[in-house]
């Protein structure tokens, strides 16, 4: 079976609910923090009362309820550990 790479555009809409598209995978969903992997970056939402209402990885969409206090985008590359940096 052949799989094609899907190029997902990202959007973040905050209204009555929080809708995130372009989601590659969900790293963590907690009451105070949600961490998502997007195509080339990671998105961390912090706040309170987060609850996943709808998730479709095939469509790359996540709908949340809760209150967003902050959001942060970071690079998708994992930071190297101290030991890996010492022994390269």
Q: Is the model's pLDDT at 4 over the cut of 50?
A: no
CATH number where 43 lies? 2.60.40.2000
Could you identify the residue written with the tokens 């940096």?
Answer: 85
Please check whether residue 3 lies inside any domain of the structure: no
What's the predicted TM-score (pTM) here? 0.77
Pairing of strands 61-75, 18-21: antiparallel
Closest alpha carbon to 31 in 65, 71, 74, 73:
65
User: Domains in the chain: how many in total?
Assistant: 1
15-47 residue pLDDT tens:
999 999 999 999 999 999 999 999 889 999 999
Closest alpha carbon to 35 in 8, 69, 78, 71:
71
Domain extent at residue 62: 11-77
């Amino acid at each position: 079976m052949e799989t094609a790479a899907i190029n997902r555009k990202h959007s973040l809409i905050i209204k009555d609910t929080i809708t995130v598209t372009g989601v590659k995978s969900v790293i963590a969903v907690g009451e105070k923090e949600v961490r998502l992997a997007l195509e080339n970056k990671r998105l961390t939402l912090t706040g309170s009362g987060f609850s996943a209402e709808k998730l479709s990885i095939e469509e790359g969409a996540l709908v949340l309820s809760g209150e967003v206090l902050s959001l942060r985008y970071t690079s998708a590359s994992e930071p190297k550990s101290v030991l890996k940096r010492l022994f390269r």
